[in-house]
Structure 1
Amino acid sequence: MSDPDIPNRNAPERTEWPHWLVVNIPGSDMSKGEVLDEYVGAGPPQDSGLHRYVFLLFKQPDKIAFDEVKHSITDGNRFPFSIQKFAEKYNFEDAVAGNFFRAQYDDSVPELYKQFKI
Protein backbone atom coordinates (compact mmCIF):
# COMPACT_ATOMS: atom_id res chain seq x y z
CA MET A 1 0.00 0.00 0.00
CA SER A 2 1.47 3.33 -0.97
CA ASP A 3 0.53 6.99 -1.37
CA PRO A 4 1.75 8.30 -4.75
CA ASP A 5 0.52 11.84 -4.05
CA ILE A 6 3.43 13.29 -2.06
CA PRO A 7 3.19 16.17 -1.16
CA ASN A 8 -0.09 16.50 -3.10
CA ARG A 9 -1.73 15.07 -6.19
CA ASN A 10 -1.20 18.19 -8.31
CA ALA A 11 2.54 18.43 -7.63
CA PRO A 12 4.02 15.09 -6.57
CA GLU A 13 7.63 16.14 -5.91
CA ARG A 14 9.10 13.34 -3.86
CA THR A 15 8.15 9.75 -4.47
CA GLU A 16 5.55 7.43 -3.14
CA TRP A 17 5.29 6.89 0.59
CA PRO A 18 4.98 3.18 1.39
CA HIS A 19 2.34 2.57 4.05
CA TRP A 20 2.59 -1.22 4.07
CA LEU A 21 4.82 -3.69 2.26
CA VAL A 22 4.54 -7.45 2.75
CA VAL A 23 6.48 -9.96 0.63
CA ASN A 24 6.97 -13.72 0.42
CA ILE A 25 3.34 -14.40 1.33
CA PRO A 26 2.71 -18.15 1.17
CA GLY A 27 -0.55 -18.63 -0.74
CA SER A 28 -3.09 -16.24 0.71
CA ASP A 29 -1.86 -16.26 4.33
CA MET A 30 -0.77 -12.63 4.87
CA SER A 31 0.11 -13.38 8.49
CA LYS A 32 2.99 -15.59 7.31
CA GLY A 33 4.45 -13.02 4.92
CA GLU A 34 7.64 -11.04 5.56
CA VAL A 35 6.84 -7.44 6.55
CA LEU A 36 9.26 -4.93 5.07
CA ASP A 37 7.22 -1.85 6.01
CA GLU A 38 4.86 -2.11 8.97
CA TYR A 39 1.35 -0.81 8.33
CA VAL A 40 0.73 2.89 8.84
CA GLY A 41 -2.76 4.25 8.16
CA ALA A 42 -3.62 7.12 5.86
CA GLY A 43 -2.40 10.53 7.03
CA PRO A 44 -2.31 13.16 4.30
CA PRO A 45 -0.68 16.47 5.25
CA GLN A 46 -2.93 19.40 6.04
CA ASP A 47 -4.13 21.38 3.00
CA SER A 48 -2.80 18.77 0.55
CA GLY A 49 -6.20 17.66 -0.76
CA LEU A 50 -7.23 14.12 -1.53
CA HIS A 51 -4.53 11.44 -1.61
CA ARG A 52 -4.83 8.05 -3.27
CA TYR A 53 -3.83 5.01 -1.22
CA VAL A 54 -3.06 2.20 -3.63
CA PHE A 55 -2.96 -1.52 -2.87
CA LEU A 56 -1.16 -3.68 -5.45
CA LEU A 57 -0.63 -7.43 -5.40
CA PHE A 58 2.14 -9.08 -7.39
CA LYS A 59 2.65 -12.80 -7.81
CA GLN A 60 6.15 -13.91 -6.90
CA PRO A 61 7.48 -16.91 -8.81
CA ASP A 62 9.47 -18.06 -5.77
CA LYS A 63 10.56 -16.86 -2.34
CA ILE A 64 12.92 -13.90 -2.76
CA ALA A 65 15.73 -12.65 -0.52
CA PHE A 66 14.85 -8.95 -0.35
CA ASP A 67 17.65 -6.52 0.52
CA GLU A 68 15.40 -3.59 1.43
CA VAL A 69 15.60 -1.55 4.62
CA LYS A 70 12.75 -2.57 6.92
CA HIS A 71 10.60 0.17 8.43
CA SER A 72 8.80 -0.06 11.74
CA ILE A 73 5.51 1.63 12.51
CA THR A 74 7.44 4.49 14.16
CA ASP A 75 9.70 5.11 11.16
CA GLY A 76 8.32 8.09 9.27
CA ASN A 77 11.35 8.32 6.97
CA ARG A 78 10.43 5.86 4.23
CA PHE A 79 11.71 7.85 1.24
CA PRO A 80 12.63 7.29 -1.50
CA PHE A 81 10.20 4.63 -2.72
CA SER A 82 8.64 3.66 -6.02
CA ILE A 83 6.50 0.54 -6.38
CA GLN A 84 7.39 0.51 -10.08
CA LYS A 85 11.13 0.46 -9.35
CA PHE A 86 10.62 -2.11 -6.57
CA ALA A 87 8.72 -4.41 -8.95
CA GLU A 88 11.36 -3.98 -11.66
CA LYS A 89 14.23 -4.65 -9.23
CA TYR A 90 12.75 -8.00 -8.23
CA ASN A 91 11.49 -8.90 -11.73
CA PHE A 92 7.80 -8.90 -10.84
CA GLU A 93 5.43 -9.12 -13.73
CA ASP A 94 2.33 -6.94 -13.96
CA ALA A 95 0.22 -6.62 -10.83
CA VAL A 96 -2.42 -9.34 -10.54
CA ALA A 97 -4.79 -7.29 -8.37
CA GLY A 98 -5.20 -3.77 -7.10
CA ASN A 99 -7.50 -1.38 -5.34
CA PHE A 100 -7.38 2.08 -3.85
CA PHE A 101 -9.15 4.52 -1.62
CA ARG A 102 -8.87 8.27 -1.22
CA ALA A 103 -8.46 10.22 1.99
CA GLN A 104 -7.70 13.76 3.07
CA TYR A 105 -6.45 15.43 6.22
CA ASP A 106 -8.69 15.29 9.26
CA ASP A 107 -8.31 15.69 13.03
CA SER A 108 -6.87 12.16 13.41
CA VAL A 109 -3.73 12.90 11.39
CA PRO A 110 -1.79 14.77 14.13
CA GLU A 111 -2.27 11.73 16.40
CA LEU A 112 -0.96 9.44 13.67
CA TYR A 113 2.13 11.63 13.21
CA LYS A 114 2.97 11.45 16.93
CA GLN A 115 4.08 7.85 16.51
CA PHE A 116 6.88 8.76 14.10
CA LYS A 117 10.49 9.13 15.16
CA ILE A 118 11.97 11.17 12.35
Structure 2
Amino acid sequence: ITFSNNLTVNLGNELTPTQVKDQPLVEWPVTPGTLYTLAMIDPDAPSRISPTMRSVKHWLVVNIPDANITAGDILAGFIGSGPGKGSGLHRYITLIYKQTNRIEGLVRNDTIPSRLGFNMTKFALDHKLGEPVSGNFYHSQWDTYVDERETDRAFRGDGIVPDVIDASPKGRIEVTFANNLTVNLGTQLTPAQTSQQPLVEWPTVKCALYTLALVDPDAPSRADPIYRNWRHWLVMNIPGKQISYGNIISAFEGP
Protein backbone atom coordinates (compact mmCIF):
# COMPACT_ATOMS: atom_id res chain seq x y z
CA ILE A 1 0.00 0.00 0.00
CA THR A 2 1.59 3.23 -1.15
CA PHE A 3 0.25 6.72 -0.41
CA SER A 4 1.39 10.02 -1.90
CA ASN A 5 5.11 10.86 -1.63
CA ASN A 6 5.94 7.12 -1.67
CA LEU A 7 4.74 6.61 1.91
CA THR A 8 4.18 2.90 2.42
CA VAL A 9 2.16 0.90 4.91
CA ASN A 10 4.28 -1.59 6.83
CA LEU A 11 2.50 -3.70 9.47
CA GLY A 12 1.63 -1.02 11.97
CA ASN A 13 3.80 1.99 11.13
CA GLU A 14 2.30 5.34 12.10
CA LEU A 15 1.06 7.71 9.40
CA THR A 16 -0.80 10.98 9.89
CA PRO A 17 -4.31 11.71 8.52
CA THR A 18 -2.69 14.37 6.33
CA GLN A 19 -0.37 11.77 4.80
CA VAL A 20 -3.17 9.29 4.05
CA LYS A 21 -5.91 11.65 2.84
CA ASP A 22 -5.72 10.50 -0.80
CA GLN A 23 -6.53 7.08 -2.18
CA PRO A 24 -3.40 4.90 -2.20
CA LEU A 25 -2.00 2.45 -4.70
CA VAL A 26 -2.74 -1.10 -3.52
CA GLU A 27 -1.06 -4.14 -4.99
CA TRP A 28 -1.11 -7.83 -4.08
CA PRO A 29 -0.21 -11.21 -5.63
CA VAL A 30 -2.99 -12.28 -7.97
CA THR A 31 -4.23 -15.40 -9.71
CA PRO A 32 -5.00 -14.37 -13.32
CA GLY A 33 -8.70 -14.35 -14.12
CA THR A 34 -9.74 -14.06 -10.47
CA LEU A 35 -12.04 -11.52 -8.82
CA TYR A 36 -11.12 -9.91 -5.50
CA THR A 37 -12.70 -7.81 -2.74
CA LEU A 38 -10.79 -4.96 -1.09
CA ALA A 39 -11.84 -3.60 2.29
CA MET A 40 -10.27 -0.91 4.47
CA ILE A 41 -11.68 -0.56 7.98
CA ASP A 42 -11.09 1.22 11.29
CA PRO A 43 -12.07 -1.11 14.16
CA ASP A 44 -11.19 1.51 16.78
CA ALA A 45 -13.96 4.09 16.38
CA PRO A 46 -14.48 6.27 18.25
CA SER A 47 -11.48 4.91 20.23
CA ARG A 48 -9.67 1.64 20.78
CA ILE A 49 -10.73 1.71 24.44
CA SER A 50 -14.42 2.06 23.52
CA PRO A 51 -14.98 0.92 19.92
CA THR A 52 -18.76 1.36 19.94
CA MET A 53 -18.87 2.14 16.21
CA ARG A 54 -16.71 -0.82 15.16
CA SER A 55 -15.91 -0.91 12.34
CA VAL A 56 -15.85 2.20 10.17
CA LYS A 57 -15.88 1.30 6.49
CA HIS A 58 -13.23 3.47 4.81
CA TRP A 59 -13.19 1.70 1.47
CA LEU A 60 -14.99 -1.29 -0.04
CA VAL A 61 -14.62 -2.54 -3.60
CA VAL A 62 -15.84 -5.88 -4.92
CA ASN A 63 -15.46 -7.77 -8.21
CA ILE A 64 -11.93 -6.47 -8.78
CA PRO A 65 -10.45 -8.29 -11.80
CA ASP A 66 -6.92 -9.34 -10.91
CA ALA A 67 -5.64 -6.22 -9.05
CA ASN A 68 -7.32 -3.59 -11.23
CA ILE A 69 -9.25 -1.71 -8.54
CA THR A 70 -10.64 0.88 -10.96
CA ALA A 71 -12.42 -1.91 -12.85
CA GLY A 72 -14.13 -3.20 -9.69
CA ASP A 73 -17.52 -2.26 -8.29
CA ILE A 74 -17.20 0.43 -5.60
CA LEU A 75 -19.57 -0.09 -2.68
CA ALA A 76 -17.96 2.62 -0.53
CA GLY A 77 -15.53 5.15 -1.95
CA PHE A 78 -12.21 5.77 -0.23
CA ILE A 79 -12.06 8.17 2.69
CA GLY A 80 -8.86 8.79 4.63
CA SER A 81 -8.28 8.37 8.33
CA GLY A 82 -10.24 10.63 10.67
CA PRO A 83 -9.52 9.67 14.29
CA GLY A 84 -11.09 12.01 16.82
CA LYS A 85 -8.98 14.41 18.85
CA GLY A 86 -7.75 12.73 22.03
CA SER A 87 -8.90 9.27 20.92
CA GLY A 88 -5.36 7.91 20.60
CA LEU A 89 -4.00 5.65 17.91
CA HIS A 90 -6.42 3.87 15.58
CA ARG A 91 -5.64 0.80 13.48
CA TYR A 92 -6.46 1.10 9.77
CA ILE A 93 -6.60 -2.34 8.21
CA THR A 94 -6.72 -3.15 4.51
CA LEU A 95 -7.75 -6.69 3.56
CA ILE A 96 -7.92 -8.53 0.24
CA TYR A 97 -10.30 -11.46 -0.27
CA LYS A 98 -10.38 -13.87 -3.18
CA GLN A 99 -13.90 -14.29 -4.54
CA THR A 100 -15.33 -17.59 -5.74
CA ASN A 101 -18.17 -15.87 -7.61
CA ARG A 102 -19.17 -12.43 -8.79
CA ILE A 103 -20.99 -10.40 -6.10
CA GLU A 104 -24.30 -9.00 -7.38
CA GLY A 105 -27.18 -6.97 -6.04
CA LEU A 106 -25.25 -4.43 -3.93
CA VAL A 107 -25.24 -0.67 -4.55
CA ARG A 108 -22.77 2.04 -3.65
CA ASN A 109 -23.44 4.01 -0.47
CA ASP A 110 -20.96 6.67 0.64
CA THR A 111 -23.02 8.15 3.48
CA ILE A 112 -21.50 8.32 6.95
CA PRO A 113 -24.29 6.27 8.65
CA SER A 114 -23.77 3.45 6.15
CA ARG A 115 -20.07 3.31 7.02
CA LEU A 116 -20.52 2.90 10.78
CA GLY A 117 -20.87 -0.47 12.46
CA PHE A 118 -19.62 -2.40 9.45
CA ASN A 119 -18.96 -6.06 10.25
CA MET A 120 -16.26 -7.32 7.89
CA THR A 121 -16.47 -10.87 9.21
CA LYS A 122 -20.21 -11.03 8.50
CA PHE A 123 -19.75 -9.49 5.06
CA ALA A 124 -17.14 -12.12 4.23
CA LEU A 125 -19.43 -14.92 5.45
CA ASP A 126 -22.47 -13.58 3.59
CA HIS A 127 -20.54 -13.51 0.32
CA LYS A 128 -18.50 -16.67 0.87
CA LEU A 129 -15.18 -14.84 0.74
CA GLY A 130 -13.35 -17.06 3.19
CA GLU A 131 -10.29 -15.70 4.96
CA PRO A 132 -8.31 -12.74 3.57
CA VAL A 133 -5.51 -13.70 1.20
CA SER A 134 -3.53 -10.46 1.72
CA GLY A 135 -3.52 -7.61 4.20
CA ASN A 136 -1.63 -4.78 5.84
CA PHE A 137 -2.30 -2.06 8.39
CA TYR A 138 -1.05 1.23 9.81
CA HIS A 139 -1.71 3.35 12.88
CA SER A 140 -2.94 6.93 12.85
CA GLN A 141 -4.04 9.56 15.34
CA TRP A 142 -5.65 13.00 15.12
CA ASP A 143 -4.02 15.92 13.36
CA THR A 144 -5.46 19.24 12.19
CA TYR A 145 -6.48 17.82 8.80
CA VAL A 146 -9.20 15.79 10.55
CA ASP A 147 -10.93 18.98 11.71
CA GLU A 148 -10.57 20.53 8.24
CA ARG A 149 -12.23 17.48 6.67
CA GLU A 150 -15.04 17.39 9.23
CA THR A 151 -15.70 21.10 8.76
CA ASP A 152 -15.83 20.73 4.98
CA ARG A 153 -18.15 17.72 5.23
CA ALA A 154 -20.52 19.60 7.57
CA PHE A 155 -20.59 22.79 5.47
CA ARG A 156 -21.28 20.80 2.32
CA GLY A 157 -23.70 18.39 3.98
CA ASP A 158 -25.91 21.26 5.17
CA GLY A 159 -25.72 23.01 1.81
CA ILE A 160 -23.75 26.02 3.06
CA VAL A 161 -21.21 25.18 0.38
CA PRO A 162 -21.87 25.97 -2.42
CA ASP A 163 -25.29 27.52 -1.69
CA VAL A 164 -24.06 30.34 0.59
CA ILE A 165 -20.27 30.40 0.19
CA ASP A 166 -18.05 28.91 -2.48
CA ALA A 167 -15.60 26.99 -0.28
CA SER A 168 -15.43 25.71 3.28
CA PRO A 169 -13.23 27.55 5.80
CA LYS A 170 -9.98 25.80 6.68
CA GLY A 171 -10.19 26.58 10.39
CA ARG A 172 -13.00 26.27 12.89
CA ILE A 173 -14.34 29.12 15.03
CA GLU A 174 -15.08 28.50 18.70
CA VAL A 175 -18.40 30.17 19.54
CA THR A 176 -19.65 30.06 23.13
CA PHE A 177 -22.95 31.54 24.29
CA ALA A 178 -24.14 32.04 27.87
CA ASN A 179 -24.17 28.97 30.15
CA ASN A 180 -21.25 27.52 28.15
CA LEU A 181 -23.44 26.60 25.18
CA THR A 182 -21.15 25.98 22.22
CA VAL A 183 -21.68 25.94 18.47
CA ASN A 184 -20.47 22.73 16.83
CA LEU A 185 -21.08 22.35 13.10
CA GLY A 186 -24.84 22.41 13.06
CA THR A 187 -25.95 22.07 16.68
CA GLN A 188 -29.49 23.31 17.31
CA LEU A 189 -29.85 26.21 19.74
CA THR A 190 -32.93 28.25 20.60
CA PRO A 191 -33.30 32.04 20.15
CA ALA A 192 -33.42 32.35 23.93
CA GLN A 193 -30.10 30.53 24.28
CA THR A 194 -28.42 32.74 21.66
CA SER A 195 -29.90 36.13 22.55
CA GLN A 196 -26.66 37.53 23.98
CA GLN A 197 -23.42 38.22 22.13
CA PRO A 198 -21.21 35.13 22.32
CA LEU A 199 -17.51 34.72 22.95
CA VAL A 200 -15.85 34.03 19.60
CA GLU A 201 -12.28 32.76 19.22
CA TRP A 202 -10.21 31.55 16.30
CA PRO A 203 -6.54 30.90 15.41
CA THR A 204 -4.81 34.18 14.62
CA VAL A 205 -1.66 35.43 12.92
CA LYS A 206 0.37 38.17 14.60
CA CYS A 207 -0.45 41.70 13.39
CA ALA A 208 -3.29 40.46 11.16
CA LEU A 209 -6.72 42.10 10.94
CA TYR A 210 -9.92 40.08 10.66
CA THR A 211 -13.57 40.48 9.70
CA LEU A 212 -16.32 38.64 11.57
CA ALA A 213 -19.75 38.07 10.03
CA LEU A 214 -22.84 36.28 11.34
CA VAL A 215 -25.57 35.86 8.73
CA ASP A 216 -28.88 34.03 8.26
CA PRO A 217 -29.18 32.86 4.64
CA ASP A 218 -32.62 31.36 5.31
CA ALA A 219 -34.72 34.49 6.00
CA PRO A 220 -37.64 34.38 6.20
CA SER A 221 -37.39 30.62 5.45
CA ARG A 222 -35.00 28.21 3.84
CA ALA A 223 -37.66 27.34 1.27
CA ASP A 224 -38.12 31.00 0.31
CA PRO A 225 -35.06 33.04 1.41
CA ILE A 226 -36.08 36.36 -0.12
CA TYR A 227 -34.17 38.31 2.57
CA ARG A 228 -30.90 36.40 2.15
CA ASN A 229 -28.61 37.15 3.91
CA TRP A 230 -29.92 38.69 7.15
CA ARG A 231 -26.93 40.36 8.78
CA HIS A 232 -26.85 39.54 12.51
CA TRP A 233 -23.35 40.79 13.21
CA LEU A 234 -20.54 42.40 11.24
CA VAL A 235 -17.23 43.64 12.64
CA MET A 236 -14.20 44.63 10.55
CA ASN A 237 -10.55 45.47 11.24
CA ILE A 238 -10.37 43.19 14.27
CA PRO A 239 -6.79 43.02 15.63
CA GLY A 240 -6.17 39.38 16.42
CA LYS A 241 -9.35 38.15 18.08
CA GLN A 242 -10.08 41.29 20.08
CA ILE A 243 -13.53 41.93 18.66
CA SER A 244 -14.17 44.92 20.93
CA TYR A 245 -11.29 46.77 19.22
CA GLY A 246 -12.71 46.26 15.71
CA ASN A 247 -14.99 48.53 13.73
CA ILE A 248 -18.60 47.48 14.35
CA ILE A 249 -20.62 47.75 11.14
CA SER A 250 -23.63 45.91 12.57
CA ALA A 251 -23.97 45.22 16.29
CA PHE A 252 -24.84 41.69 17.39
CA GLU A 253 -28.50 40.74 17.07
CA GLY A 254 -29.68 37.28 18.09
CA PRO A 255 -31.90 35.07 15.91
Give me the TM-score of the superposition, normalised by structure 2. Answer: 0.43
Structure 1 residue 107 corresponds to structure 2 residue 129: no
Provide closer, same or farther for how the CA distance between residues 62 and 103 of structure 1 changes in structure 2, counting only shifts above 3 A: same
The CA deviation string for residues 67-106 of structure 1, in whole angstroms up to 9 with x for no partner, is 3x5223xx22222311111101111111000000110000
Partner of 2:101: 62
Question: 2:53 — aligned with what?
Answer: 14
| Ranges in structure 2 where 5+ consecutive residues have no aligned partner | 1-39, 159-255
CA apart distance, 1:66: 4.1
Q: Of 109, 128, 134, which residue of structure 2 is paired with 1:97?
A: 134
Q: Are positions 1:71 and 2:109 aligned together?
A: yes
Q: Secondary structure at the match of 2:98?
A: coil
Aligned to 2:183: none
Over alpha carbons, which structure has the higher Rg?
2
In the TM superposition, structure 1's runs of 4+ consecutive aligned residues that sit over 2 Å from their partners are: 69-72, 114-118
Gaps of 5+ in 1: none
Q: CA deviation at 1:110?
A: 1.1
Give the Cα–Cα distance (whole angstroms) in 2 for the partners of residues 66 and 47 of structure 1: 39
Deviations 1:20-59 (A, max 9, x none): 0000001111110000000000010111000000000000
Q: Which amino acid aligns with 1:70?
A: R
Distance in 2 between residues matched to 1:24 and 1:18, nearest whole Å:
17
Q: 1:28 & 1:62 partners in 2: Cα distance? A: 16
Supply the AA of the counterpart residue of 2:143. D
* Residue in structure 1 matched with residue 80 of structure 2 by the alignment: 41
For 1:42 and 1:79, the matched residues in 2 are separated by 14
Mapped partners of 1:11, 1:85: distance in 2: 21
**Aligned amino acid, residue 86 of structure 1:** F
Q: Is the 8 A contact 2:61 2:73 kept in 1?
A: yes
Change beyond 3 A, Cα 1:100–1:85: same
Q: For residues 55 and 14 of structure 1, what CA distance do their matches in structure 2 show?
A: 18
SS in 2 for 1:71: coil
Identity of aligned residues (%): 38
- What's the TM-score, normalizing by structure 1? 0.89
Q: Which amino acid aligns with 1:24?
A: N
Structure with a larger share of its residues in strand:
2
Distance 1:40 1:30 in 2: 15
